[in-house]
Structure 1
Amino acid sequence: MNIFDQGYFLISLFGMTGTVGAAIAALLSADIAKKSLQRQEEHFNKSLEPLIVPKAMTYARKVNFDNVNFIYNNWNETKSGNFNLRYEDVEIPLLNLSNGIAKDIKIKSEVIKYDELIKVIQNTKLKSFDILDIKFIDEYNKKGFLINAQNKISGLYEDHPIELFSEQEILYLTNKGDNLSVKIPKSFVVFQNLYIYLSYIEKTPNLMAPMLVFTIDYKDIAGNSYTAKYTMKVNKITIKKEKNSRQMHEERQIISFTIEEYKIN
């Protein structure tokens, strides 16, 4: 092979190598672009993903444990609350912690772990009550519980519709910072009031507190479905005698939530 043929061979070889190199570079660029698009798509989908959580709360009330109506006393978000106010709807705010919009929101709340409380009431002679009894009612077209409470000062004999489950629907919960509220089942308020009395006034040891579970189903604006489940727990209860009063107590509860489940359906 003379010098001219060698020259043509080298030119052809370098030209082929350049073509292969360009093809490899193009493939690498395409792969990088694909991964970049995937990251952008994931980031976009993540930005659409709402995150709905119940808000931790502090409730307070003034209560006279000598008056059996404390069983139905309301919880308040104020510092001291109101004495002997019959409970209304106690609400927990729901927060959307993302910028994604949630829609078609369905909230189910369920009271759990109240059985031990009922057994203690039914089987224990209490110091401040002549009678304190709870009986469940399960008759045709009527479910609830009957509370019979009597002491030297006051008494009540009242049936109460059972609300171990409650459901609500909300159309939209928008951007971060906005909030709506979900109602606590009234049954839970009654059971919690009884738990506080038994644990802190009667000093019943190792009593399990009732708990509340929120299951929240919702969708984002793209139609993806989510389920979040939270357990409501009372982190701290403080009770102290009110100044210049023999009967009145100031009660404060600090409530928080633990996430039990979060999934994209």
Structure 2
Amino acid sequence: MFVAPSPQPAPSSRQGLASGLSFQATHHGVTFSVSTDGTPQSHGLLFPESGIPLDQAASDPAHFRQRLQGLRQEERQAIQWAMVGQPADVLQPVHKGMQVEAGLYATLNSHLADGIRLDPGEWSMMRDLSSALGRLPPVPGEYLRVVEYRDLAAIPWGTAIQVGDLVTNHPCFMSTTPDDSYAKWAVGEYACSAQPYALVFCRIGSATSGVPLWPGVDARPGDPSVVLFPRDACFLVKSIARAQATGQAFPAMRIGVVLEQVASGQPLRNLHSGEPVRVRTPW
């Protein structure tokens, strides 16, 4: 039975979590050099083809729809913009990692990431989506985020971001999945590529503010396609594992990251770029 976690205070520094471990692993005939810092769970995220189990509290789309109807019209519209209209296994990775759909939501997140001045419509959507996520019921549990890097030199995990650091996706909203279907799709997609891509698989544990979204207004009981975290969500880095293929294999690098949601703290780094960031609230 799933037990809802209690919010944990953020640590004040890197509290001795890191412990190096290096070994070789063979997966589907390909040898990888694997290094792990922190708790050992992160190396279990490197090969989602073998499955990544995730545990969440029970969620009910009927209850979600009921709460959705209690929102202001502008808040409901913002949620509709962010809802997925297709299964998670056919989502496309776009700018700044996986986004839940093309259109206004993806454009908003892209502009937030790049510091582009928002137009009035984007500003309204950011405000209304933030407000809606604060009023809809979160579902505690574990979730998975997949991030793509095309420039291996830009990867912050293990360099700019270390075990014990606090990270956030601010200034962007953060989309995650409640299962490993998208992670499996991503590995298969990039296995056909001749580019030196890296894929990062982040498992978020002790999540307290993830809001599940179901596709369509006639959603039936079952798993949501995406779980959306607010812009100010904060996470502790528990473990980082890196797997570098020693032969010809793609993606050339896989990174597994174990995150735990915590209360807000400082200093914070953006979990995509590793750059220092200050969370500005409420918007």
TM-score (norm 1): 0.25
Greater strand content: 1
TM-score by length of 2: 0.24
